[in-house]
Amino acid sequence: MMKTASIPRPLVRTNQWTIVLTVVFSLTLHVYWVLFIPLLAGLMGLVFHFNPIMRGAKLFLRKAPSDYVPEDAQQQQFNQYIALSCLFLSLLGFTFHWIIVGYTFAILVALAAFVAILGFCVGCFIRFQWSQYRYRRQARAQQG
């Protein structure tokens, strides 16, 4: 049986809470540069496979990483692309004084992260729907 790569849930939750808290802090105090923290950590995770937020949280795990509920690494990578896109667009909005764009994408990513903490993964839903669309399109192409 092939084992898929996974990430312990507490590390994923720490990353999600970091996104939520930095967005709340940033929007409340109008300190938009704070959004660079989860953006850079996520970018490092995707490019170098080293997310400093998760690496720091790993030091506080009390059990072996394999003893925690696993989160699919590929799904988390997909979710991270969505989060990074929203954070980047938010920062771009604030940089160019497009306040509505900045707030919209910051709130979107914070809501998605918070909803994921509560148990519903928006990125998982999007990825599943995309997979279904591709499957149906492929099936139609083979039929006719």
pLDDT tens figures, 101-125: 999 999 999 999 999 999 999 999 9
pTM: 0.92
Q: How confident is the model at residue 12 (pLDDT cuts 50, 70, 90)?
A: very high
Give per-residue pLDDT as tens, 44-87: 999 999 999 999 999 999 999 999 999 999 999 999 999 999 99
Q: CB count, 10 Å around CB of 99? A: 11
What is the reported pLDDT for 1? 52
Contact 27, 90 (CB under 8 A): no
